[in-house]
Structure 1
Amino acid sequence: MWKRVIGYGALLAAGTLALQWLDYQRLARMHSGDIYLFLVAAAFLALGVFLGVRVFAAPAPVAFDGNPKAQAALGLSVRELEVLHELAAGGSNKQIAAHLNVSPNTVKTHVVRLFEKLGARRRTEAIRRARELGILP
């Protein structure tokens, strides 16, 4: 029973395909100019989209350099910059010491030097000042 149903279904599908092919051939002969016009328009559309994306694409973001001139003017050391980044991330002295593998007293010393160099009294003020100078993103 199922073989017969599948056989009839395949015959109907083949007949439909043949009729559609004949209709397509007639359509292609009668409207060949319209088909060529559509293909040219589609090609120009694709070209326009491609060029539009290339020309009007957002430029790549510039990498953050940390304003080396301000760092040199303030005399910030590499370790002080690391401590400053950790301060901006919200770490306590103990957390910063554990992350940088130094003692908490060393971190305190770096924080005091950062406060002196940045002219700040508190951590938030030092971070704000570093961001104003472009040292922190």
Structure 2
Amino acid sequence: MKRTVYIFSALIIVLLLLFQISKYAIYTNDLTLEFTIAFVAIVFFFIGVLLNKKSSTKTQISQEDVDLKKLKTLSLSDREYEVLKEIASGLSNKEIAEKLFLTESTIKTHVSNLFVKLNAKRRTQAIRMAKEMRII
């Protein structure tokens, strides 16, 4: 969390510096307004590409790394395990229901069963426990 705050703070500082430099350059008639806007747009384009590249490289446990013994001891059904994986990917109950072609109330039932089996009170806690148990 601290790292994210530092990154965005640095981006804000860079943005302010870019605007101050461009304002100075425009006042001294060294740059045109169009060139300044294009320069700022290019800088933010590359920042966006870098941030997207870093955020898209998430490490996930492959199917071989899943602890199948632990999965069986928890007695999770196949559908509950599917719902758990979708919760871990950040989907809401409604989105999971649409993806798995089920009703939202069925998903709520599966989620509450997951909470009981994983001894969790919230979705984030269930995901954390599942990751600790190496089942997702």
Which residue is equivalent to 1:98? 98
* Offset from partner CA, 1:61-100 (integer Å, 9 cap, x none): x753421111110000100010000000100000000000
Pairing of 1:82-121 with structure 2 (within 5 A): 82-121=82-121
2:110 maps to amino acid: H
TM-score, length of structure 1 as denominator length: 0.53
Q: Please tell me whether residue 76 in structure 1 is matched to residue 76 in structure 2.
A: yes
Taking the aligned partners of 2:75 and 2:63, their CA distance within structure 1 comes to 22
Q: Which has the greater radius of gyration?
A: 1
2:109 maps to amino acid: T
**Structure 2 counterpart SS, 1:96:** helix
**Structure 1 counterpart SS, 2:64:** coil
TM-score, length of structure 2 as denominator length: 0.53
1:71 maps to amino acid: L
Which residue is equivalent to 1:131? 131
Taking the aligned partners of 2:135 and 2:69, their CA distance within structure 1 comes to 9
2:111 maps to amino acid: V
Taking the aligned partners of 1:104 and 1:81, their CA distance within structure 2 comes to 16
Divergent runs of 4+, >4 A:
none
**Structure 2 counterpart SS, 1:76:** coil
- Number of equivalences: 76
Q: CA RMSD in A?
A: 1.7
Which residue is equivalent to 1:43? none
Over the matched positions of the two proteins, sequence identity in percent amounts to 51
Taking the aligned partners of 1:63 and 1:81, their CA distance within structure 2 comes to 13
